[in-house]
Structure 1
Amino acid sequence: MRHHSIVGRLGTADTAPITPTRADTHVTEISFIDGFGHVGYGLGQALDQLRDVGLSPSEAAVDLALLAAAITAADTRISRDADAQDAWTREIDLHLPVHDPALWTGLAPLIMTTLNFLTGDHWGVRFRPRIASVPVLAAPPTKLRTATPSSVCLFSGGLDSFIGAIDLLAAGESPLLVSHYWDGITSKHQTYCGEALKRRFPSATIHHIRARVGFPNDVVDDFSVENTLRGRSFLFFALAAMTADAVGGQAVVHVPENGLISLNVPLDPLRLGALSTRTTHPFYMARFEELMRGLGLNVTLHNPYAFQTKGQMAKGCADVGFLQREAKNTMSCSSPAKARWALNEADRQPKHCGHCVPCLIRRAAIKEGWGTDDTEYQIPSLHGRVLDTNRAEGEHVRSFQLALSRLAKKPARAAFDIHRPGPLTDHPSKLTDYEAVYIAGLQEVGRLLQGVQAKPS
């Protein structure tokens, strides 16, 4: 096990001494200002795009994005296998320069609670003043404001966010879409889906902020890479919050995510949190909103589909015909790049695997929504043969089948299961709604898996 400290710097002039909390920590310094004085690692890209439409966020909002970038560096470049005693729980401290260190220090306990819940690690955060030569990171716009969006909407390139944007545009809203990416696969789907919306809604003004935020493989250690990426939604929320803050007023950030994924109820007793990450779990979203209030940001998060399954989202979309035509161009798979290892060269193009948890929920949703699924999957049919549960192709199928079997034997357990991934204390009046969407979501996947066989080889 190895303790890590990520020290954020603002250029070569930022040489303020840092006192680590542990003498045996592995210190990594990352400068978020490049040699040309520009904010790096994709944050400057987002700030430039905002400035191009006449928008500029507060320094508190920029510091939130800087914190998110440091979290991303740690989360994606510190290996759980190599650096955690239990091959999962890492110990990470962040040391960052901010505009108002007293404000941020007061929020440190909340930040640590939020991050510990989101990623399953042990986090520490320490804040210090920015150096005098860098008092401002968000330069004022040099152009007149051309963006007057009614709200901000997360736009990942996935099916849920595509539905969310369609519904907003069909209702006459003008959302400002916010995306982040690192790999070319994600970028391709985000770009295509954004352009498809512009073609479908030509009279609407659709601005799209896209930032390529990521870090070289060796930024922390030589070729240390982590693929669980539990902290990615902190970056997503922070970029959206920075954008919403720049828009001004009482800004709403739409977080389109189906209720089954949001709840993150484990599929079997040994896999707590295995259904998905906690990216939009109600407890996490409430803590992030609390953080934004503490920073003085007048921004709220809203998931309009918190109590809908993905199939209900698809069926209830304001433009089902358009969604049906374009759904194949959205990306839901947790690891589409895994296709590059296919034995058959023709199968090496990135595509949905068809058997991971997000793919199974997607397949079930399309079946519910309109029946015909023209998405390309590595496994075109789940019914063609017996799926091997000792391999990835059958692992999650079997987990869903076990969860459905347990629920059928004891339906009352759902009222308790929904609390296993995390507290729902922020929404005590909605417990029956969470229970209902959990049951409905599982049953939706159950209808997809009728007749599917999965067992060990």
Structure 2
Amino acid sequence: MTALNTVSGQPTFLVDVLEPGVAVRAESSAAVIGEVIELDTEGLESYFFADWNPTLIDLLVVAGAAEFCDAVKRRPLHQWGRHFDLRIAVHDPALWNSEAVKTALEDALGYLTGDVWRFTFVPRRKAVERRNSTLDLAGGVTTVMPYSDGLDSRAVHALVAAKEGAAGLVRVRLGSGGVDQPRSKKKRQPFTVVPYKVNSSERVETSARSRGFKFAAVTGIAAILAKVERIVVTESGQGAFGPMLAVSGQIYPDYRVHPTFSRRMERLLFALTGRAVHYEYPRLFSTKGETLRAANALRQPPTWNDTRSCWQQSRQTGFDGKRRQCGVCAACMLRRVSMLSAGIDEPASAYVWERLSAEQYEDGVVDGFVKLTPALRAYAVAGVLHMDHLADLVESPLHARQLRHAARDAAEALSADRVEVEEQLRSMLERHAEEWRAFRKFLGPRSFVSQLASARS
């Protein structure tokens, strides 16, 4: 699976994404189309209910190939980036091998993951057969929105629908599950099932940066098929800027829901299809708490109890036969801070760690929980430190240059004034710091959360 890159001296990992029975290159790993990278019949019907576009089907395969590479090759111990060389079977290799498409694709994936990607495309032996579907998309659609089971998705959907009306808004499901409607109903609606899956038992890398490509690809495809240009990204400020600002060590910044990555996806989609789509960020300079507060103040506010923010899988945090969130990872910590700031009550039983005010980390867990793994403790420490680091950014002169750089890049991606964007970014981070201090005060100075945060300062 490896070969020596003669330019960098780093190993290059060869991956062939081809149809069954096609020979792969020497030393290459095979991700067989239809076996490892499987196009989901139900998902294809959910998307390609009107226009059958083989180029967009190929984009799903490319996204699956990126996910496969990202998962099965562990990152080196002393550096971040890896080198991938992929050969992929597509319907129109001339298009995919064109300079415009290859440059846009390699730039988008490289920027997102911090890896080096090189692609070669070869013709498919057999075209993907058209699916028959009875789905229908109502007229007047103006906006596509990526939609998960998270708080931001629920809140921003409610805010946009209240302002512009729900009729022109189409949600694109980002996960395989979904708690907001039964599966039988989802099967009859467009864009409700991700159109592919990657089957591999060799997943050894957990950084999963390629997820951003997957989600941007499926929402972009949905917009093109729905013949709309506008994609509303629901992420609030901490979620968009936090992962690329509050990094430690040699970890590569995370741009999964940042406009600098979205602009690269726009260029790729235009090079592939000639169609322009645009990703918008209406809550980019709002905290999650502010977004929730605004949605909760609507005449008909969303329900929150069935949303999920946790990074952990249910099998790691389930308790007494019920689905819970861990309550201590960075995503859960931000959720709890934001819910408090928005004045939304949430039962302690929503989390494994019911009592964040406990003095000892172990004492905060629900009675009877036995899965106290070192990994969960590491997530708890990292969750507190991430929130604390983000709160310190605007107050520390050591980070002034970093914030100016982040504001410059965001302003370029947003076609906005750099000075104005830097003011908005600093203001958002100041409000985050206020919410974080209020949360720590609410828990008390002796809580394990406050102790971890104090130990850092």
Match of 2:14 among 5, 9, 12: 5
Matched residue, 1:291: 268
User: CA offsets, 1:335-355, max 9 Å, x none?
Assistant: 243635x8xx64x75422222
The 5-angstrom pairing of residues 56-455 of structure 1 reads: 56-80=51-75, 84-86=76-78, 88-105=80-97, 106=99, 107-131=101-125, 133-134=126-127, 137=128, 139=130, 141=132, 143=134, 145-148=136-139, 149-170=141-162, 171-174=164-167, 175-181=169-175, 187=177, 190=178, 192-194=179-181, 207-211=190-194, 213-218=196-201, 223-248=202-227, 250-263=228-241, 264-267=243-246, 269-270=248-249, 272=251, 277-295=254-272, 296-317=274-295, 320=298, 323=301, 326-337=303-314, 339-340=316-317, 346=320, 349-374=322-347, 376-387=350-361, 391-405=378-392, 407-410=394-397, 413-414=399-400, 416-417=402-403, 419=405, 423-424=409-410, 425-427=412-414, 428-429=416-417, 430-450=421-441, 451=445, 452-455=449-452
Q: Alignment RMSD, CA only?
A: 3.5
Distance 1:439 1:57, change over 3 A: farther
C-alpha deviation, 1:387, in angstroms = 4.5
Q: Is the 8 A contact 2:16 2:86 kept in 1?
A: yes
CA contact (8 A) 2:216 2:262 kept: no
Measure, in 2, the Cα distance between the counterparts of 1:406 and 1:239. 33
Cα displacement (A) at 1:269: 4.8
Under a length normalisation based on structure 1, what TM-score does the superposition of the two structures give? Answer: 0.78
- Give the equivalent residue in structure 1 for 2:38: 41
| Contact map agreement 2:391 2:436 (CA 8 A) in 1 | no
Q: Against the structure 1 CA distance between its residues 144 and 181, is the aligned structure 2 distance closer, same or farther, given a 3 Å change threshold? A: closer
The question of whether the paired residues in 1 share the 8 Å contact of 2:16 and 2:30 is answered with: yes
* Counterpart position of 1:201: none
Q: CA deviation at 1:159?
A: 1.0
Following TM superposition, by how much is the alpha carbon of 1:273 offset from its aligned partner in structure 2, in angstroms?
A: 5.4
CA distance in 2, matches of 1:67, 1:321: 43
User: What letter is aligned with 2:145?
Assistant: C
TM-superposed CA distance for 1:206, in Å, is 6.9
Amino acid at match of 1:76: A
- In the TM superposition, residue 257 of structure 1 has moved relative to its aligned partner by 0.6
| 1:357, distance to aligned residue in structure 2 (A) | 1.5
Which residue identity is paired with 1:377? Answer: Y
Does residue 30 (structure 1) correspond to residue 31 (structure 2)? The answer is yes
* Contact 1:180-1:213 within 8 A present in 2 as well: no
Give the whole-Å Cα distance in 1 for the aligned partners of 2:222 and 2:330. Answer: 31
Superposition deviation, residue 366 in structure 1: 0.9
Aligned identity (percent) is 20
**Secondary structure, counterpart of 1:449 in structure 2:** helix
C-alpha separation in 2, matches of 1:316 and 1:45:
36
Q: Secondary structure at the match of 1:46?
A: helix
Q: Give CA-to-partner distance per residue, 1:225-284, whole Å, 9 cap, x none.
A: 322211112111111222222212x3322221112211134336536557xx42111211
- Change in CA separation of 1:155 and 1:322 when aligned onto 2, cut-off 3 Å: same
Which whole-Å CA distance do the structure 1 matches of 2:434 and 2:247 have between them? Answer: 16
> What code does the residue aligned with 1:453 have?
S
- What runs of 5+ residues in structure 2 fail to find an aligned partner? 1-9, 363-375
Could you list the runs of 4 or more consecutive aligned residues of structure 1 that deviate by over 6 angstroms after TM superposition? none
The change in CA–CA distance for 1:208 and 1:320 in structure 2 (over 3 A counts) is farther
Amino acid at match of 2:312: S
- TM-score, structure 2 as length reference: 0.78
Does 142-151 or 284-293 show the bigger shift?
A: 142-151
Number of matched pairs: 411
Are the structure 2 counterparts of residues 321 and 88 from structure 1 closer, same or farther at C-alpha, using a change threshold of 3 Å? farther
Match of 2:47 among 22, 47, 50: 50
